[in-house]
Structure 1
Amino acid sequence: MKVVVATHNAHKVAELQRILGAALPGLELLPYDGPAPVEDADSFAGNALIKARAAAAHTGLPAIADDSGVSVDALAGAPGVDSAHYSGERDDAANLRLVLTKLVDEPNRAAQFTCAAALVDPVGTDPLDVDESGAAFEHVELGIWPGTIAHEPAGGGGFGYDPIFIPEGYSITSAELTADEKNAISHRGRAFAALARVLAERYGAA
């Protein structure tokens, strides 16, 4: 079964290959080289669907996409859906520095990562799958990863806000975890583990 990964982010493609590869050995993940859609939804699920719909429409193949970010309690849930461009540019280092700057002397460091994992299949076999958007089949799973924001970056692994996010139950940042450790407990790992079950049921890929 061939499924397009609707992202131009090489880190995410590699991460999804690790997460889904073992669970779905019959699944072939293909890179997406089409145009990037405008992600203007006000939720992670909405943006994930926008990306998956665009890739499915461009390739004619089932597509998976995710949208994720960190929400900080003391920042009223920001960066949230604006996580990738929080500093005004798509720069991981600048984004996390801005979060740390805003949290200087803030005792409440609670935060959570959220990931919405979406599947869009433009070639449905069941007319009942078709919805008002014209997509044959759409499904979204959410993964939540609670934790706290560190006072300074640590670790060289991961990407995005990983160097300043301390997962619940840990004393190190997610950037200090191995890839396998992170995938087993992360928001993205949780969301795509749930989506893997949907893929297996739908395509018999497991």
Structure 2
Amino acid sequence: MLVVEDDVTIAESITARLRAEGFTVQVAHDGPAAVAADAESEPDLVVLDIMLPGFDGLEVCRRIQARRPVPVLMLTARADETDLLVGLGVGADDYLTKPFSMRVLTARVHALLRRVERSARVETAGARIVLGDLEIDIDQRRVERGGVPAQLTPIEFDLLVHFAQRPRTVLPRERLLSEVWDWDVHGMGSGTRAVDSHIKALRRKLGADLIRTVHGVGYALEVSA
């Protein structure tokens, strides 16, 4: 596991907690060192601060995701929605806004790793989903709508597959957090902004009509079978 954080105190706290959970942890304190560490050790997960020397965490995320897909938990001192959308758009799977508790951080880390394991099992089974002009190749993790390919992040792809397996079914945010993110929604705090941000990303990449908002409830995939 790779922890990227320029604040030494925070980095040491995160590292100590993750090592106590049984993880092998490597630490980087700036953008270039983070990219180099990822290339060298290929960690199973990256905990990544946005504000870094050298170049920021968004650029780190772009570079490591361009080389290979890896789950990224982004840390930010800002709760601005634009920052969150950019972070999620370059390949982050989840985010935490500082200050956060170490209990929540470790819970999110475990949830991300469980989701990756579950996704791998689904890919092994193999499937192709076709709903109207939407085509999803699960083995190759490729998506097209109307014959036009879309580049999705790992979490966007998993979220889309979850919807596509239940077309027209209204899925509450809490259920999505539980079944896609593998969160314990009763013990990990609010994550509805993560859901909403990824829905916006799917609409931007695949069409605003793809997913319907059911106000006060959740979302549903509207592509006809």
TM (normalized to structure 1)? 0.31
Larger RCO: 1 or 2 (CA < 8 Å, sep 6+): 1
TM-score with structure 2 length normalisation? 0.29
The structure where helix makes up a greater share of residues is 2
